[in-house]
Amino acid sequence: MSSNFKAANSVSGDVDGTGMRIALVCGRFNDHITNRLLEGAENALAVHGVAEADVTIVWVPGAYEVPMAALALIENGHADAVVCLGAVIRGETSHYDFVAGECARGIQDVQLTTGSPVIFGVLTTENLEQALARSSDEDNKGEESVRTAIEMVNLLRRLENDEQA
């Protein structure tokens, strides 16, 4: 059921990254996927106006280490937002469950603790084919994650300044 309700105060972010400092934290494990996500992220940064000089790329061993690097980037003032990229592909052991869950929890903890956008662009897939599909030119989660980061920085800035969209 639809309604004609219109909120008096509506705030949203846009995807203009001009002047924004964005960091990308990339897990090396499954780097054949992470590199594809990184390429999509770099394309989105350029399209949305983020200058190359305002981009920091950090590589860590794997998805489990991503949250710590994200925290260091935010705490040390290197970025307005961090985009976390990696790939955890289910295997024959329970290792996937521990890594994927703890990576997601860690990223969320950093975001909520620091008050800065830290975006979960880590693929958690059942198989390689799914990871390839989500890191393709047609559907690249790295690109999508950058748009989310830029939108969230702008949204938080508007909320901080009590602006209305």
Provide the annotated active-site residues: 95
Q: Give dist(CA 94, CA 81) in Å, integer.
A: 31
**Measured between alpha carbons, how far is 17 from 1 in angstroms, rounded to an integer?**
36
Output the CA angle 135-114-153, nearest 5 degrees.
55
Q: H helices within 2-161, ranges in order?
A: 31-47, 66-75, 95-114, 128-133, 141-160
C-alpha atoms less than 13 angstroms from C-alpha of 163 in its C-beta half-sphere = 10
Cβ atoms of 50 and 123 within 8 Å: the answer is no
**Residues contacting residue 134 through CB under 8 Å, at least 6 positions apart:** 123, 125, 140, 141
